[in-house]
Amino acid sequence: MSSDAHASHPADGHHAIAADAPHGSMKGYLTGFVLAVVLTVIPFWLVMGNVLDNAVATSILVIVFAVVQIVVHMIYFLHLDTASEGGWNMLALIFTVIMVVIGIVGSLWVMYHLNLNMMPGMMTARPG
């Protein structure tokens, strides 16, 4: 079996499978999975069970759990750290996060004020 031969001689002239790539471990994947399940179940439980009876508090908690779960996935499933690819992965991610935040928060902010200023009656209420 050629695969067995490779397993016993991992450095037999072949490249090791992308030696510079991040290596996951069973422990890492299982830790990430358990955390992801917990961080998924809690917001579903909050919304489906109407646990808090307060829409604003529930919304904030759902967002917080989503952000934490995204970080968990980045660390345990995507193996992201400041050292991978000489730090360029992290730099690209930081840039993207800034763009995403500007795009989403900016859109919501601008359109909220646009709606506020387009309220019916606003034009007639102003004198002149």
Partner 1 sequence: MSTESAVQTAGQPAFYVTEEEHAHSSTLLGFWIYIMSDTLIFAALFATFGVLRHRYAGGPTAAEVLDIPGVALNTAMLLISSITCGFAMLEMQKRNKGSTLFWLAVTGLFGAAFVGLELHEFATMIAEGAGPQRSAFLSAFFTLVGTHGTHVTIGIIWLITLMVQVGRKGLVHENARRLMCFSMFWHFLDVIWIGVFSVVYLLGVL
The greatest distance separating any two alpha carbons of the chain, rounded to the nearest whole angstrom, comes to 90
In contact, 10 and 16? CB cutoff 8 Å: yes
Residue 23 or 126: the one with the smaller Cβ distance to partner 1 is 23
Among 38, 51, 83, 95, interactor with partner 1 by CB under 8 A:
95
Tokens of 31: 């830790």
> Does the protein bind partner 1 through residue 98 (CB under 8 A)?
no
Residue 30 or 122: the one with the smaller Cβ distance to partner 1 is 30
The torsion of the CA quartet 43, 46, 47, 48, rounded to 10 degrees, works out to: 110
| Cα–Cα dist 102/89, whole Å | 20
> Does the protein bind partner 1 through residue 51 (CB under 8 A)?
no
In contact, 76 and 38? CB cutoff 8 Å: no
> Which residues of the shown chain bind partner 1 in the complex (CB under 8 A)?
2-3, 6-7, 10, 14-15, 17-21, 23-26, 29-30, 32-33, 36-37, 40, 43-44, 47-48, 55, 58-59, 62-63, 65-66, 69-70, 73-74, 77-78, 85, 88-89, 92-93, 95-96, 99-100, 103-104, 106-108, 111
